[in-house]
Structures are given as structure tokens and as C-alpha cells.
């Protein structure tokens, strides 16, 4: 049923409009009986449906309805699988329809600036391209079921410390290339029904009233068609929010927001036309949700649980497999040690906490799969709610390990170590767990560690064990997925979507996170994650994009469809991947680009494409990537746009950011002229890069070379290399200062005028 939204808005009083822009309760928008405007229900996500009863808070003190708890964002991103994430989205959409939920609050795609952020388990990656691609698939999956999403948290929300008041101080290029780039593609291509504005301020202005973010960029530049909703309690000034483009305040403010809007309209501080725009955007989504409501839908919980197990297995990352200790021999006696084996940590704390339909634990799932002739023994090893060693538990664990052929230790971060609301202060796992791993490695030579954590941890014990499986927070079916991988039923295929540093002091934001008082400076700029480690040649514990398999893959025949292109053309890149091992497996092929010589500072390499391919032993396949201008570009603040400068670029294809298997070079020609007035302070070297300008300054440069007192008779004090270097960064005015009588400032001024013409 088509509704004329503008006609409805014209019939509304100013009070009715103001009321519609504030929630009715924790989870519902306001209805208007007179005009037959229904209420919508929203529910927390993003890795499961957290529908709570009316009146319940959004931080989860009360239980929510039972739903499937899928892997958290940090795990999901490690799948690098667009299709898998889309299937997850479809399943979540089905569950929302079954529970009459119109909008799922997710996905969360804030960049992992620091591994200490307490909410990193909920976010996807340190890389904006990977985050954007997976978020786009997620949104399309959910919304294909007639349920909206709320892409969050917009923007630059990268810490929990003082998250409601801190101001992220950030330059425009960093904002665009790293923190907004993750949002841009999902908004342009997937059109989430809503975007959730963040708690924090950006460069001093609250996100809830930041016109530059919400109107100039989100609505006008990116053409977002939905409405903006506040994070719960993020509103500072309700009228300023409407003015900036923040449409819906959540949760209910018990009339305060509505009164503030009415006062602002009455005084002329806020125009009614601005208010009308917000109302129109809200109504468009309200009616879309009603039209897409599927009544009496029931989803198959067992089927969704099996999907959760399949997804979890594809997300886990094999970090170490010395002497091919994995997969485990089902005929050997195995000791399982660690409380997390029977008391799994499968999700994070806070607003995304799901009430699962059931929970698998790894010990029981291993027990189901090992052969009857083998023994599976268990020791608790440590208490999850303590950091101190317990002598009795350790002795029991050592005895159990000694009596087995191999030992699997379950370790990681307890709930108290990472959660929404606060940041971590260390990369370490609890000391009693580290101690246990070290002691067991002394008495058992075949040790595998399985980690359950939402973000990177230090591993001072890594050299002492044979295998490490990063299981992340894998959802309610994580136990079964872990068993499937350990025993070889599933070949691990996940790769890290974030860098694991050796030490906290190695991290790019180490000196600046989480800031001073209510201000945090993003002084590392664009050098986030692998962009920093690779550019600075800092060895990480495990690099971005890294992950092992039970099989091996060969890369070859890297080809381009052209050797030269303009920034208006696309480039096709093809590479052949072959499975040369014994097992069927999946490889994640990663394409990075390096600008060989740029006029601005750029990272060593940047991810620009990826593909996940499944191959049987001996099978090979050609993977094709299409690159466009954006693949080569940086954000140029002089033109306020993306700019791919002329020059040579390296095309790098590999299995991680640190393992490039094939590379080649392409030449790109820019069709865009960079404006900028040439002055007497313009460097000579910058002019020499442009052939046309070089011709114009050759005459005066020749005069300078003849007249400068730094010439041939200086008895070798000035080398040729030194002379060239000085020229490169010498302002034009200096030619007159050092050029003798043949070069005057009048000549330099005339040259500048000529160059600008």
C-alpha cells in the first residue's frame, strides 16, 4: 500500500512531528493513532538477535528471548567470506521477522585503532576495505528478508574509555581514508535503513549534532536514503541534532526531546522544514518495515545452529602447526586442560549479549569424535574468575598432561577482561593461564593451545607449543567447530583481520590511546594496523591476513589486461591458485597496492581486493580482480576528493600482508589537475615533477647552475648528490638569493606569474 509521506507530514502538527522524532520506550518508536502511523521495534545485534521485553534496558541486565548466538564480529571478519556473511545476514533477518523486530542494530564496523578497545570483539577489522566489503554483504543479507539494519557507530568511535564525552581529534585525510571509508561502500551500495550516530565527539562536535558527518557526507555526498538514529543516550542537544540531520532520538526521553524541538521551532532557532525532513525519513522506513513484515514466520532453530557451527569453523585461524601436530590423531590419548574447554566463552559482554538456544562445549564435542580405543582426559587447570595460580589445579593438570600422548590447552580472555563499557589495559591473558601453558610445555612435548578471545593477546609462550588455534568468540556452536578443526573434519581457512603485535608498545596508537581527559589525538594518522607495521618494518607476532591450512597453495601466472591505464579505466588482474597439498581447502587470496613514488606519505601497501576460493587437491583456478581509480587513490585535501596520481604502482598478490607471492607493475596516468597556486616558496623539486613546468624553469635553472657559489671550485665540499638534494627542496626565492646578479627577485616573480598562467 503506497502512502503519500509528504501529505501525511502536512497533516501533522509541530508537536506530532517532534514526538515522532523521539522513541516511545527503550525499543519502540512512537505511533500516531490519528494518522495511522505504527510503531517499530528495534533490537540489539549484531551477531544475534537480542530482543528484550518492554521496559528492559539495552545493556542486558534482563534476559532477552532465546536466539542463535553466531560468532562475534572479530571472528566473522576472519572468514574473509562475503557469501558466508550474507548467509549469516539472511538467517538474522529470518529471526527478526519471527520475533516481529523491524530493525537489527548492526553491524558494528568501527576500525580497530588499538587492540585494547573493549568492544573490538564486536567490530570487524583494522582495515577499512575489508570492513566495508563484509558489512555490505551483511546488510544485504539482513535486508533481503525485509528487515532493516543500523550501521554503527558513525563515526570515529574507537574506544570505550570516556566514550560518551571524548573528542576524537583527527585530520581530514585520516578521517576519510581510514575511519569513514569503512562506512562509505555499505551506505552507497547496501543502503542500510538506518545509520547509528556515535556517542563521542569528532573534532569537538558531538556526532549527534555533527552536520558535516550527518548531512554533508552521509546524506548529500553518499546519498543515504534512510534515517539517522542516536546511539542509546547519545543526544546532547535535541534541536541541534535535528538541524544536523540526526533524526530519531533513542531511547525515550520522556518528552524532553520533543519539548526542546518545539521550543526551537517556535523561537526560529530550528526551521520546521528541517524538522519535516527528519519526519519524512523516519516515516519512509516505518512504512517500509510494515510493508515488509512477514507474519507467522517460524525459523528452524536447529538449522540455524548448524549454520552457526559452519560459520564458526570458517572463521577460526590456525596460527601455528609445528610438525603437523594438527589434525589430532583420533587414536591417541588426548588430555584436554583448561576451564574454557567445558565453560566456553563464546561471546562478549554488553549490549550485544545473546541468550543462546543452546551451547556446545569443546570437551563434549571432542568426546563424540575420537575413537573408542582412545582416551580423553580432562583437568580444569585454572579458575576463570581468578588470576592467581591454584597449586592443586596445576598439579592435577600436569599429571593429566604427562599421562597423555598430546595435550590441548584451552585458554583466553574471561568476560571480566573485555567488554563493552571499558577498555583493556594489557594484551596478556590471565597470568594463571600463561603459567599453566608454560608448565605443561615442560612435561609434554605435544601441546596445542586453543584461544577464546575477542581481540589480540600476547603469547610469550608461543615458541614452547606446537600448535595454536585462534577460535575467537565463535558463538554458541564454537565448541563443535573447534572439535571439527582439531580432528580434521574441517580444514581451517580463517585469516587474521587484525595484526597481533608482539608487544603493546609496538602498536601505532600506543602513545595516544585513550587520550588525555576528554580528548584523544589520532596522531598516528593513516598508519593503522598493518599499514604501520609494514611501513615501519616492525615484526608482529602474527601479521594481518595470516592463517595456516592443512593443505598448501601455489600462486602463479599473475597477469594484467593492460600495462598502462588512466584513472578513468579499470584494470583486470588475474592469478592462478593451485592446491598442491593432500586436503581439500580454502585459500584467501589478497591483493595489495603500493604507490612506488608519491607526492604524499602513503603506507607500504594497502589491501584493495580479496577472494576466498575452495579447491580440491590438485585443482587450480584463475582468480580475477577488477581495480578502479579508487584502488590507487588517496584522499586529496586540496581537491576534497579521491586522487590517483600519475606514476608506477606495484600490484602485490599474496597470502598475507607479509607473504607476497607474486608482484608486477602498472603505470597509471591521472586525468585530474591538482589546483594550487605556485608561489616564490614553491619547491623547485615539486615543479620538476611536471614536464610542462620543467621546460619553463630550465632557463633560470641553467643560470643558477652557472652563478651559484656552490659550484665547481668548492674543492669537493658539495657533492653532486648533495647538490641535487638541495635543489629538490629549495624554494624558488632561494634561486635569487644564491644565483648571483643574473637572477633577481623580479625574475623569480615574473616566472611565478608565468607558471601560474
Q: Which domains does the chain have, with CATH numbers?
A: 1-39+149-165+192-292 (3.20.20.300), 60-101+110-146+300-547 (3.40.50.1700), 553-669 (2.60.40.10), 684-756 (no CATH)
Locate 696 and state its grid cell: 619553463
Q: Measuring CA to CA, which residue among 112, 149, 207 is closest to residue 418?
A: 112
Element (H, E) at 151: strand 148-154
Low-confidence ranges of the chain (pLDDT < 50): 711-713
Peptide bond between residue 552 and the one before it cis (omega within 30 degrees of 0): no
Q: What is the DSSP string of 598-639?
A: -SS---S-EEEEEEEEEE-TT-EEEEEEEE-HHHH-EEETTT
Pairwise CA distance, residues 411 & 457, whole Å? 11
Nearest CA to 200 out of 245, 244, 230 is that of 230
CA–CA gap between residue 618 and residue 552 (Å, rounded): 10
Residue pointed to by grid coordinates 515488509: 292
Distances (CA, A) of 737 to 294, 563, 740, 748: 79, 44, 7, 11
Q: Cell digits for 156?
A: 570515529
Gap between the Cα atoms of 233 and 252, Å rounded:
9
Distance CA 340, CA 433 (A): 11
The Cα 141–Cα 133 span in angstroms is: 13
Assign residue 255 a region: left if phi > 0, alpha if psi is -120 to 50, beta otherwise? Answer: left
Q: Which residues contact 273 (CB under 8 A, 6 or more apart)?
A: none
Q: Tell me if 218 sits within 8 A of 245, measured CB to CB.
A: yes
| Beta-carbon count within 10 A of 393 CB | 19
| Cis bond before residue 9 (omega within 30° of 0) | no
Separation CA 559–CA 497 (nearest Å):
26
C-alpha span between 214 and 205 (Å, rounded):
12
CA 470, 474, 480, 482: dihedral to nearest 10 degrees? 0
CA dist 566 and 672 (Å) reads 10
* Number of Cβ within a 10 Å radius of residue 383: 15
Cβ atoms < 10 Å from Cβ of 694: 13
Q: How far apart are CA 79 and CA 312, in angstroms?
A: 9
Q: Is the distance from CB of 203 to CB of 555 less than 8 angstroms?
A: no
Helix (H) or strand (E) holding 468: strand 467-470
**DSSP H/E element including 392:** helix 391-402
Spatial separation of the C-alpha atoms in residues 247 and 269, rounded to whole Å: 17
CA angle 404–406–407, rounded 5-degree value: 95
The three cell numbers of residue 24 are 516511545
CA distance 583 to 593: 31
Q: List the catalytic residue out of 231, 314, 534, 567.
A: 231
Strands (E), 26-107: 42-44, 66-67, 103-105
| Under 8 Å between Cβ of 139 and 184 | no
3-state secondary structure of 255: coil
First to last CA, the chain: 61
Determine whether 424 is exposed, middle or buried from the number of CB atoms within 10 Å of its CB (0-12, 13-18, 19+). buried
The C-alpha atoms of residue 615 and residue 599 are separated, in whole angstroms, by: 42
Q: Dihedrals φ, ψ of 79, to 5°?
A: -75, -30
DSSP string over 551-589:
S-EEEEEEEES-SEEETTS-EEEEEEEEE-SSS-EEEEE
Phi (first) and psi of residue 108, to 5 degrees? -95, 120
User: Cα(725)–Cα(738) distance, rounded to whole angstroms?
Assistant: 16
SS3 426: coil
The CA distance from 105 to 84, in Å, is: 20
Total residue length of the chain: 757
3-state secondary structure 38-103: CCCEEEECCCCCECECCCCCCCCCCCECEECCCCCHHHHHCCCCHHHHHHHHHHHHHHHHHCCCCE
Residue 507's alpha-carbon distances to 45, 140, 146, 526, in angstroms, are 29, 34, 41, 13
Residue pair 146/293 in contact by the 8 Å Cβ criterion = yes
Asked whether the beta carbons of 230 and 265 are under 8 A apart, the reply is: no
Question: Helix/strand/coil (H, E, C) string of 307-371?
Answer: HHHHHHHHHCEEEEEHHHCCCCCCCCCEEEECHHHCCCCCCCECCCCCEECCCCCHHHHHHHHCC
Q: How far apart are CA 158 and CA 120, in angstroms?
A: 8
Concatenating the DSSP letter of every residue in 515-536 gives -BTTEEE-TTTT--THHHHHHH
Burial 102-136 (b: 16+ CB within 10 A, else e): bbbbbbbbbbbbbbbbbbbbbbbbbbbbbbbbbbb
Distance CA 722, CA 703 (A): 19
Contact 239, 269 (CB under 8 A): yes
* Residues 160 and 108: beta-carbon distance below 8 Å: no
Residue 231 among the catalytic residues: yes
Q: Is 67 helix (H, G, I), strand (E, B) or coil?
A: strand
Amino acid at each position: 500500500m503506497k502512502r503519500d509521506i509528504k501529505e501525511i507530514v502536512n497533516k501533522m502538527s509541530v508537536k506530532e512531528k517532534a514526538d515522532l522524532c523521539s522513541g516511545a520506550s527503550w525499543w519502540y518508536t512512537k505511533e500516531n493513532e490519528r494518522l495511522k502511523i505504527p510503531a517499530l521495534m528495534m533490537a540489539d545485534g549484531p551477531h544475534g538477535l537480542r530482543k528484550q521485553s518492554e521496559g528492559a534496558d539495552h545493556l542486558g541486565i534482563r534476559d532477552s528471548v532465546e536466539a542463535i548466538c553466531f560468532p562475534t564480529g572479530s571472528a566473522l571478519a576472519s572468514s574473509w567470506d562475503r557469501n558466508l556473511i550474507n548467509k549469516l545476514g539472511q538467517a538474522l533477518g529470518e529471526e527478526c521477522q519471527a520475533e516481529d523486530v523491524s530493525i537489527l542494530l548492526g553491524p558494528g564496523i568501527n576500525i580497530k585503532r588499538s587492540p585494547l578497545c573493549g568492544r573490538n570483539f564486536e567490530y570487524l577489522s583494522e582495515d577499512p576495505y575489508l570492513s566495508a566489503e563484509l558489512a555490505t554483504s551483511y546488510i544485504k543479507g539482513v535486508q533481503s528478508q525485509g528487515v532493516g539494519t543500523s550501521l554503527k557507530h558513525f563515526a570515529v568511535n574507537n574506544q570505550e574509555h570516556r566514550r560518551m564525552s571524548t573528542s576524537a581529534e583527527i585530520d581530514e585525510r585520516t578521517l576519510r581514508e581510514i575511519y569513514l571509508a569503512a562506512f562509505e561502500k555499505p551506505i552507497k551500495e547496501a543502503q542500510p535503513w538506518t545509520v547509528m550516530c556515535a556517542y563521542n565527539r569528532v573534532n569537538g562536535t558531538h556526532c549527534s549534532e555533527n552536520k558535516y558527518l550527518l548531512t554533508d557526507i552521509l546524506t548529500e555526498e553518499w546519498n543515504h536514503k534512510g534515517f539517522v538514529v542516536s546511539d542509546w543516550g547519545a543526544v546532547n542537544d535535541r534541536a541541534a541534532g535535528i538541524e544536523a540531520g540526526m533524526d530519531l532520538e533513542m531511547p525515550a526521553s520522556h518528552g524532553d526531546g520533543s519539548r526542546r524541538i518545539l521550543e526551537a521551532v517556535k523561537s526560529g532557532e530550528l526551521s520546521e522544514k528541517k524538522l519535516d525532513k527528519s519526519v519524512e525519513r523516519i516515516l519512509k522506513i516505518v512504512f517500509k518495515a510494515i510493508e515488509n513484515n512477514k507474519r507467522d514466520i517460524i525459523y528452524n532453530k536447529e538449522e540455524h545452529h548448524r549454520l552457526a557451527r559452519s560459520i564458526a569453523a570458517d572463521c577460526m585461524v590456525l596460527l601455528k602447526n609445528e610438525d603437523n601436530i594438527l589434525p589430532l590423531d583420533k587414536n591417541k590419548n588426548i588430555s584436554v586442560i583448561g576451564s574454557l574447554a567445558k565453560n566456553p566463552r563464546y561471546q562478549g559482554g554488553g549490549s550485544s549479549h545473546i541468550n543462546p538456544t543452546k551451547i556446545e562445549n569443546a570437551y563434549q564435542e571432542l568426546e563424540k569424535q575420537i575413537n573408542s580405543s582412545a582416551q580423553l582426559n580432562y583437568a580444569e587447570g585454572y579458575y576463570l574468575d581468578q588470576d592467581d595460580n591454584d597449586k592443586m589445579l596445576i598439579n592435577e593438570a600436569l599429571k593429566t598432561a604427562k599421562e597423555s600422548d598430546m595435550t590441548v590447552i584451552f585458554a583466553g580472555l574471561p568476560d571480566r577482561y573485555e567488554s563493552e563499557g571499558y577498555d583493556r589495559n594489557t594484551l596478556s591473558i590471565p597470568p594463571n593461564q600463561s603459567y599453566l601453558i608454560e608448565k605443561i610445555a615442560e612435561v609434554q612435548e605435544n601441546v596445542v593451545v586453543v584461544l577464546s578471545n575477542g581481540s589480540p593477546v600476547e603469547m610469550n609462550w608461543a615458541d614452547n607449543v606446537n600448535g595454536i588455534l585462534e577460535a575467537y568468540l565463535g558463538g554458541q556452536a564454537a565448541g563443535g567447530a573447534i572439535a571439527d578443526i582439531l580432528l580434521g573434519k574441517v580444514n581451517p581457512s580463517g585469516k587474521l583481520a587484525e595484526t597481533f603485535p608482539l608487544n603493546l608498545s609496538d602498536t601505532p596508537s600506543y602513545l595516544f590511546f585513550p587520550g588525555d581527559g576528554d580528548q584523544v589525538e589520532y596522531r598516528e594518522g593513516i598508519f593503522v594496523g598493518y599499514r604501520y607495521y609494514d611501513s615501519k618494518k616492525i615484526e608482529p607476532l602474527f601479521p594481518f591476513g595470516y592463517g595456516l591450512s592443512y593443505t598448501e597453495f601455489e600462486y602463479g601466472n599473475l597477469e594484467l589486461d593492460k600495462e598502462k591505464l588512466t584513472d578513468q579505466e579499470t584494470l583486470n588482474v588475474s592469478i592462478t591458485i593451485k592446491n598442491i597439498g593432500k586436503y581439500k581447502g580454502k585459500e584467501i587470496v589478497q591483493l595489495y597496492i603500493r604507490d612506488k613514488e608519491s607526492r604524499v606519505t602513503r603506507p607500504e601497501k594497502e589491501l584493495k581486493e580479496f577472494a576466498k576460493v575452495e579447491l580440491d587437491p590438485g585443482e587450480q583456478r584463475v582468480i580475477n580482480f577488477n581495480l578502479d581509480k579508487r584502488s590507487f587513490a588517496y584522499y586529496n585535501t586540496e581537491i576534497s576528493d579521491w586522487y590517483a596520481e600519475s606514476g608506477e604502482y606495484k600490484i602485490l598478490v599474496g597470502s598475507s600482508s607479509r607473504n607476497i607471492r607474486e608482484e608486477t607493475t602498472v603505470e597509471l596516468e591521472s586525468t585530474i589537475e591538482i589546483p594550487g597556486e605556485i608561489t616564490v616558496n614553491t619547491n623547485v623539486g615539486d615543479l620538476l615533477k611536471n614536464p610542462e613546468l620543467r621546460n619553463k624553469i630550465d632557463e633560470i635553472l641553467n643560470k643558477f647552475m652557472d652563478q651559484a657559489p656552490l659550484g665547481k671550485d668548492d674543492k669537493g665540499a658539495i657533492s653532486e648528490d648533495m647538490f641535487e638534494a638541495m635543489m629538490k627542496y629549495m624554494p624558488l626565492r632561494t634561486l635569487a638569493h644564491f644565483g648571483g646578479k643574473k637572477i633577481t627577485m623580479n625574475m623569480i616573480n615574473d616566472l611565478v606569474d608565468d607558471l601560474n598562467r
